[in-house]
Amino acid sequence: MEKAFSDRMKEGPKTPPVAVLVGMRVTSFGNGESVFEMKADRRHHNPMGTVHGGILCDLADAAMGYAFATTLGPGESFTTLELKINFLRPVFDEKLTARAKVTHRGKTVGMVECDVANEAGKLVARASSTCSVLRGDAAKGR
């Protein structure tokens, strides 16, 4: 029988390729929550000299994905139906922390929220994600 995501990750977290590309890492996950961190710097900047919104979105999306994945049972997977983010203050060169929490987990649909904060603990972005739980053939190979 296939193991649940949380059980597979206890055997050793797998670093997704996008995490390597962007420079983020998971620091904790479990029970519908996760925390990701990254050091944002000039390589993440847009033409205006601030961290590109897509980078903040990648960080939040990764944290929300891990948080939701911890709620999955054996044979279940998920996909994101919707992702929304609000950018609240500019980011230049600093450490960012994304804290995600599942706020609703139904049989087929769930919702996750994530706050991204800077080193001073100030909120720089808030994101939310709607997820669809996949089972059976829809979950195979994911």
Residue 9's pLDDT is what?
A: 64
Total Cβ atoms within 10 A of residue 90 = 11
Cα–Cα distance between 96 and 44 in angstroms, integer?
A: 12
Task: Encode pLDDT of 32-70 as tens digits.
Answer: 999 999 999 999 999 999 999 999 999 999 999 999 999
Domain count, the chain: 1
pLDDT at 97: 98
Band (137; pLDDT cuts 50, 70, 90)? confident
Confidence of residue 141 (pLDDT cuts 50, 70, 90): confident
Nearest 5 degrees, angle CA 116-CA 63-CA 81? Answer: 105
Q: Which among 77, 75, 68, 78 has a CA at the least distance from the CA of 3?
A: 75
Domain range holding 97?
Answer: 5-139
CATH of the domain at 75: 3.10.129.10
Confidence (pLDDT) at 4: 67
